[in-house]
A and B are shown apart, each in its own frame.
Chain A
Amino acid sequence: MLFLIFISSGLLLGWSLGSNDAANIFGTAVGSRMISFRRAAWIASIFVVLGAVFQGRGASETLTGLGEVDALGGAFTVALFAGFTVFLMTRARLPVSTSQAVVGAILGWTFFTGSDTDYTVLTKIVSTWVSGPILGMFFAAILYILLRKTLRRTKIHVIKLDTYIRIALIMAGAFGAYSLGANNIANVMGVFVPSAPDILLNFGIFTLDGVQILFLFGGLAIAVGIFTYSERVMQTVGRGILALTPEAAFIVVLAQALVLFLFSSIRFSEMLMAIGLPPLPLVPVSSTQVVIGAVLGIGLVKGAREIKIRTLSGVALGWIITPITAGIFTFFALFFVQNVFGIAVTKQIPEEITEMPVIIAEPSVLTDMAQQINMVLPGLLILSMAIIVLLVYLFFRQQKMRLKTENELLTQQNQYFNAQKALNDMEINAIQMENTMLSNKLEIKRQEYNNILLNISDQKKFLESVSDQISRLIGEKDIDKRDRELKALSARLKQRMSFSKEIDDFYGKIEQTHQDFITKLTERFPDLTEKEKRLAILLRLNLSSKEIATLMNISTKSTEIARYRLRKKMGLKERANVHDFLTNL
């Protein structure tokens, strides 16, 4: 437990590294939404942990060579103040690298404890600060030229190319994450290596020694950093690098991954030595600075006219300011930790200062001396549990998705139903309106029939009375009386023949039917009298003069005159047909 508290500063450093440096690997892919953050975070985390556990030892050994921080208290202070320096410089918006801060802090420790500083190692490390970005630039330039040539030759469709780049970015990202874990775990946990626990966990297929367990914790801290804080950084970096084409972004990630891999691969160094070449120093390098180098490399290939001197000088300035600041901070902090809190910062300090046991572990002899713990059964149990949890998760996810789909379907059906209902309502309204109209028509017809019926009975009554009167008059002997009564009968008949009521009814209906025509007629010829309008309607119905005369209760001659006047008022030429004119009005 105490060990965990002491390495917490290293874990903090790991968290900071995860939240910042993962953006160099998946920034473009996430920022441009080629891959979701969650997926990127999972890939990055898994590969960072793998790289840290299985290839992290090389770079850590070099850091240990610089200054073997042999007490947990010292390691804690070194990691804490390296992290503090990174934090401060980030706040001050100065270019900073965790590697440089850690080296500075270790140097602060060596000065404080009076330990010997291995200047050969120091030179080796400092040289990589320069050679890292240069190598990145070189790799990026070469790879970019190759990719460009290949693309020109293969003539891949731009949309297909996008898919290839997507896949390539994920693969390069995974490789980058592995290399980041392998190379930069030294920054996070390097200072704790001499204090690593003396155990060996056996998982059947593979074993983990104390240092690897330490690196596992460091890797997990980086993963936590990736999950908790790197999304925002990824979005920012993604948008920054977006100025590059996706092809260039892929090259940047790949070049960075290659550089970090080479500076952490023991096997590659051995290979170089085997062919008689000097081995590459296994040193933690700043991924951000390698990225800057790679971007520059692509810029050079593209023939960029201006190189941002400010960015380069910022990087160079970081090489000087960061280690010095971290060194000074650590130096003074160690003084406080040792003299104020009474915690041993090195093995060389007398034991009475702290009762804490100082564990020194030599990685080479660790496996021989270590306490062996069989992790096959617990490992299998954990694996089975993980599989069960995964299956349960997948099951519930499937259920959730099914429910979601069903809900969507239901919503769609609901919307469809509502739309259908609205349509039905409209149809019902239309039918109701039609019904009302029809019942009105029916009412009118009924009234008409009633009128006809009344008319018939009225006419019948009248004709019967006329018939009775004529029968009576036939038998009348008094000639004067008969003449008088015949005259009265004739007057009654004439009065009856005027049909004024029926004619009024007729006009009423006709005007109702020809409402549009009357409106148009009035608009065009506002001087027309009511009688003339009626005449126009009758002419439009194509009735003969005789029929019109009967309906208007005038003589045929008067009808002709009225017709002539109407033609004149409407300004019709002699040959124009009045019926056609009125029909087309």
Chain B
Amino acid sequence: MKPFKHANKSIELIDNFLNTIDRGAIIFKEGVKNYLYGNRENFVDNLKTLSALETDADIYRRKVENILYTQSLMPQLRGDIMRLLEELDNTIDLAKKSLFQFDVEVPKIPAELNQDFVKLSELSAAAIESVVPAARAYFRSPELVKEKIHRVYLYEKEADKLADSIKRRVFQELPIEKLSEKFHLRYFTLHIENLSDAAERVADVLSIMAIKRTT
């Protein structure tokens, strides 16, 4: 049916976009793990996949934006929806940048920190993975958003705690001589931690959007 053609198309694009973000989070944590344990080949492979996913996400987002604005769909909600998609896109952008920084800067991460870095990347990825179902819920059952986003806040808080602990160990406990290396490790902790912060921003946007739709 013609009136639903654009609606169906944009629904499909949004679903694809959300799948891409979800996959991006998984690939990111795999990439960090591969880097830390020296699986260079797999790491490069992850980097390529993430880069392709990021490009796909951008394409989907632009297509959705194009349809929503040219077809005047949801004049009141499209601004919010586009902001949500932008914030979600930001998470995969950050993930890609972060992984690229591993590739370019090749940080020397002491083996003692490997476990912590893996866990930090898992927590950040979990925050993203939890915000995706919440975003899906917004489109069909906005009243369920609230109960889905509390996980995001939990993972974000845990990631913050772990990042603080890593930084403390780097600067106070581990025998790292060069200050530059300490800074380098701090930056990489920050890069990974930023992902969970981005997921938290998405959750904030979502909670306001859900309130708008349910009241």
A residues neighboring B (CB under 8 Å): 32-34, 152, 155-160, 162-163, 166-167, 242, 245-246, 302
C-alpha spacing A269/B8, complex, angstroms: 44
Provide the residues of chain A in CB contact with B72, threshold 8 Å: 33-34
C-alpha spacing A158/B74, complex, angstroms: 8
C-alpha spacing A115/B115, complex, angstroms: 98
Asked if B180 is at the interface (CB within 8 A of a chain A CB), the reply is no
Given A158-B77, A242-B76, A163:B139 Cβ within 8 A: no
Given A152-B143, A158-B74, A242-B76, A163:B3 Cβ within 8 A: yes
Return A388 CB to nearest CB of chain B, in Å: 28
Partner of B140, one of A33, A158, A166, A302: A158
Q: Which of A33, A152, A159 has the most CB of B within 10 A?
A: A159
Return A81 CB to nearest CB of chain B, in Å: 41
Asked if B66 is at the interface (CB within 8 A of a chain A CB), the reply is no
Provide the residues of chain B in CB contact with A302, threshold 8 Å: 215
Return B196 CB to nearest CB of chain A, in Å: 27
C-alpha spacing A492/B84, complex, angstroms: 93
Provide the residues of chain A in CB contact with B213, threshold 8 Å: 158, 245
Return A300 CB to nearest CB of chain B, in Å: 13
Main secondary structure of the interface of B (DSSP, over half): helix
Chain B contacts with A in 94-114, Cβ cutoff 8 A: none
**Can you name 28 A-B residue pairings with CB atoms under 8 Å?**
A32-B75, A32-B76, A33-B72, A34-B72, A152-B141, A155-B140, A156-B140, A157-B7, A157-B11, A158-B74, A158-B81, A158-B139, A158-B140, A158-B142, A158-B213, A159-B11, A159-B73, A159-B74, A159-B139, A160-B4, A160-B7, A160-B11, A162-B7, A163-B3, A163-B7, A166-B3, A242-B76, A245-B213
Leading 7 A-B pairs by shortest Cβ distance: A32-B75, A162-B74, A155-B140, A163-B7, A159-B7, A160-B7, A158-B139
Asked if B10 is at the interface (CB within 8 A of a chain A CB), the reply is yes
Partner of B8, one of A33, A34, A160, A242: A160
Chain B contacts with A in 59-94, Cβ cutoff 8 A: 72-77, 81
C-alpha spacing A33/B139, complex, angstroms: 21
C-alpha spacing A163/B73, complex, angstroms: 8
Return A505 CB to nearest CB of chain B, in Å: 50
Provide the residues of chain A in CB contact with B141, threshold 8 Å: 152, 155
Q: Is the CB of B73 within 8 A of A162?
A: yes
C-alpha spacing A33/B72, complex, angstroms: 7
- B117-146 contact mask (Cβ, 8 Å, vs A): 1 or 0: 000000000000000000000111111000
Q: Which residue of B lies closest to A244 (CB)?
A: B76
C-alpha spacing A246/B140, complex, angstroms: 16
Q: Is the CB of A159 within 8 A of B76?
A: no
Provide the residues of chain B in CB contact with A33, threshold 8 Å: 72, 75
Provide the residues of chain A in CB contact with B143, threshold 8 Å: 152
Q: Which residue of A lies closest to B1 (CB)?
A: A163
Using A157-B11, A158-B77 as known contacts, list a sample of 10 further A-B pairs with CB atoms less than 8 Å apart, ordered by residue number in A. A32-B75, A33-B75, A152-B143, A158-B81, A158-B138, A158-B140, A158-B142, A159-B74, A167-B3, A246-B76
